[in-house]
Amino acid sequence: MDHASAAPPGRGARMPRASRPVLFVIDDDAGVMQALRDDLSRRFGEDFRVLGETSAAAGLATLRGLADAGETVALLITDHDMAEMPGVEFLARAHDMHPLAKRVLLVERDYSARSPVVQAMMLGEADYHFTKPWTLEQDLYRMVSEFLAEWAKDRQAGFELFEVVGRPQDRRTHELGELLTRFNVPYGFHTADSEQGRRLIEHSGLDGSRLPVMIRHDDYTVVDPTLDQIITAIGASTHDDLDECDVVVIGAGPAGLTAAVYAASEGLLTVVLEETVSGGQAGSSPMIRNYPGFPHGVSGHELTRRTCEQAWMFGAHLVFAQQVAGLEARDGRHVVRMAGGRQVAATAVIIATGVTWRRLGVPRLEALVGSGVFYGVAGSETQAMAGRNVFVVGAGNSAGQAALHLARHAREVTVLVRGDSLARSMSEYLIREIEATANVAVCLRTEVIDAHGGDYLDTLTLRDTRHDRSRQVPAAALFVLIGGEPRTRWLPETIQLDTGGYILTGRDVVRDGSHPARWPLDRAPLPLETSMPGVFAAGDARDRSMKRVASAVGDGAAAVRLVHEYLEAGQEDDEDAGRISRPGRG
Ligand SMILES: Cc1cc2nc3c(=O)[nH]c(=O)nc-3n(C[C@H](O)[C@H](O)[C@H](O)COP(=O)(O)OP(=O)(O)OC[C@H]3O[C@@H](n4cnc5c(N)ncnc54)[C@H](O)[C@@H]3O)c2cc1C
């Protein structure tokens, strides 16, 4: 990314020189500090002031002065090994004064597990690192540009593609925000009774009686928009004219999008049908730390947005707001039926419909979904939790990550766990990070049994299952991350599922005739092939899948390779499949 576009002032405006945000460098080796200042000034000096110090005391004094003067610090670049004070300690103190600054550790090249950066990153004491000595173009400029882009995004400064005016507690407002976030569309939110909100409503010639209102930068305005209208306003497609293609991919999460990239790039005419917008579960994950190639982590919606664009650039037909409701083999083709009745026929199909969150099943909680109760955590909600007490239900990695992410903004995060330990379900590194985070508490053997609030969540009732005691606690929000169930109910009975509803593939497909959905061919099913020849399953919806982004991506890519094998082997063996056509499971 070009450094100029990472600068915060919107629409390309340049800030007055004195108020430019600061890149702050501290290293007790004066030569290193000066070299870094010079290198940074050369590339970023137009948009940022580059300041430096060679002692921790002087550094903290300068940063205090900047904070008192209301100056913005974008990056705190700190040598990890200063004689006077360890780098992480300096970062912690400096960050207290400039909480929005990104913290960067400057370390020696040392790829051992003992490198200080490993622990600092794991415990969330630094956001990024880079090594010294550095090369200008490959290391310093590229990485600093990326850090600044993330900093600018967090500040939500810059060009807003949409302005949304609504009531913050409103479910529709929440849904709209979530969709815009998943599409990575920059937007500003204004409450209907704020000055800016009133001004925007008036400017649009509306009376504000119907909310939310979505106003695009070119004044195109939609009141209480439907999913279709939102997607169209963003510039994505909800319709496609194709009724024949090589491959239909169902679902645009990591598995489906990757399948689309590979299928389209390898010359297959590819249609992707997605019920909402692209991203899947990953699109609601604020930070994915374990996806290969992103040592500092990557936000799920950023990752899936890029994959979506890549699929589009290879020529995949991406169709959103299209729920698939049926699939049948007919005349050697696979006919995919959408909820609205439209059909598309394909030689092969890849099912990548993932899972959906399990529900807590407490009626008053369910009524508050979107109004203080959230399944999953979207980036849009976390900042709104600044200074509040929030709760997370769940004991898996998703719950752990959500708690840590929320802890960056919330006053206190309480993780509610039904069982008596986190160790069975959460990765060790997350448990350690939680233990090291002062504002995250864990309550074991605790269930949420009720919720209270008018339009918005106000109080939760928790039950301590060990002593069978209940108590009420004030709560600004509850985030539920208790796993999911596969999105496979709509599949025809010819596709074999396990008892949990996950799709059986490859050698797990029952072939001995003991299953009502008989495998119809002499050849064995290919890996990832379902019991309907030519139909493959990828990602979380598949039985024995890993439930990780990288494995879903791997499945998506592998499924396309197998589609080629299916096509190359010829479909003559599979002609029998054409006779199989049964109703859905309902
Ligand atoms: C909050 C959160 C944090 C996570 N963090 C991590 C992490 O840090 N690391 C990691 O590796 N994994 C993480 N995961 C898990 C990871 O996101 C999933 O494993 C991954 O997204 C699965 O990808 P998928 O494509 O198989 O399914 P999904 O991501 O579930 O995508 C399925 C898509 O199919 C669509 N769909 C469903 N039914 C239909 C239908 N009938 N018609 C059309 N479309 C349909 C859905 O709308 C959805 O977009 C996290 C998950 C969550 C929720």
Strand, helix or coil for residue 50: strand
Is the CB of 152 inside a 6 Å radius of any atom of ligand 1?
no
Higher pLDDT, 188 or 417: 417
Q: What atom of ligand 1 comes closest to residue 323's alpha carbon?
A: 42
Residue 158: per-residue pLDDT = 56
The predicted model gives 330-353 an average pLDDT of: 96
Residue 2: per-residue pLDDT = 31
**Radius of gyration, alpha carbons of the chain:** 26
Alpha helices in 243-392 (DSSP H): 254-265, 300-313, 363-367, 379-382
Distance between CA atoms of residues 388 and 482, nearest Å: 22
CB 325 within 8 A of CB 337: yes
pLDDT in tens, 407-424: 988 999 999 999 999 998
C-alpha 452 to ligand 1 mean position (Å) = 30
Residue 152: per-residue pLDDT = 86
Instruction: Identify which of 151, 142, 152, 378 has the alpha carbon closest to the alpha carbon of residue 279.
Output: 378
pLDDT in tens, 76-106: 999 998 999 999 999 999 999 998 899 999 9
- Say whether pLDDT at 582 is over 60: no
- Say whether pLDDT at 583 is over 50: no
pLDDT in tens, 329-338: 999 899 999 9
Please, which pLDDT band fits residue 300 given cuts at 50, 70 and 90? confident
* Residue from 181, 278, 281, 560 whose mutation best tests the ligand 1 pocket (most atoms within 8 A of CB): 281
Residue 515: per-residue pLDDT = 82
Question: CA–CA distance from 575 to each of 127, 394, 533, 569, 572 (Å)?
Answer: 55, 47, 9, 12, 5
Question: CA–CA distance from 528 to each of 122, 263, 397, 531, 582 (Å)?
Answer: 35, 15, 26, 10, 21
Residue 262: per-residue pLDDT = 98
pLDDT in tens, 102-118: 999 999 887 777 777 77
Q: Is 565 exposed, middle or buried (0-12, 13-18, 19+ CB in 10 A)?
A: exposed
- Say whether pLDDT at 7 is over 50: no
Residue 252: per-residue pLDDT = 97
- Say whether pLDDT at 559 is over 90: yes
Distance between CA atoms of residues 510 and 197, nearest Å: 59
Per-residue HEC secondary structure of 86-112 comes to: EHHHHHHHHHHHCCCCEEEEEEECCCC
Instruction: For the chain, report the end-to-end CA distance as a whole number of angstroms.
Output: 48
Distance between CA atoms of residues 182 and 272, nearest Å: 17
Distance between CA atoms of residues 441 and 388, nearest Å: 14
Residue 514: per-residue pLDDT = 83
Higher pLDDT, 372 or 505: 505
* Closest C-alpha to ligand 1, atom 8: 288
- What is the rounded average pLDDT for all residues in the chain? 88
Helix or strand run (H / E) with residue 67: helix 56-68
Residue 9: per-residue pLDDT = 37
Alpha helices in 314-443 (DSSP H): 363-367, 379-382, 397-407, 428-435
Q: What is the pTM of this model?
A: 0.78
Residue 563: per-residue pLDDT = 97
Alpha helices in 369-454 (DSSP H): 379-382, 397-407, 428-435
* Closest C-alpha to ligand 1, atom 2: 285
Strand, helix or coil for residue 369: strand
Is the CB of 285 inside a 6 Å radius of any atom of ligand 1?
yes
Residue 17: per-residue pLDDT = 55
Please, which pLDDT band fits residue 16 given cuts at 50, 70 and 90? low
pLDDT in tens, 423-464: 988 999 999 999 999 999 999 999 999 999 876 788 999 999
Residue 286: per-residue pLDDT = 66
Is the CB of 47 inside a 6 Å radius of any atom of ligand 1?
no
ω into residue 527 within 30 of 0, thus cis?
A: no
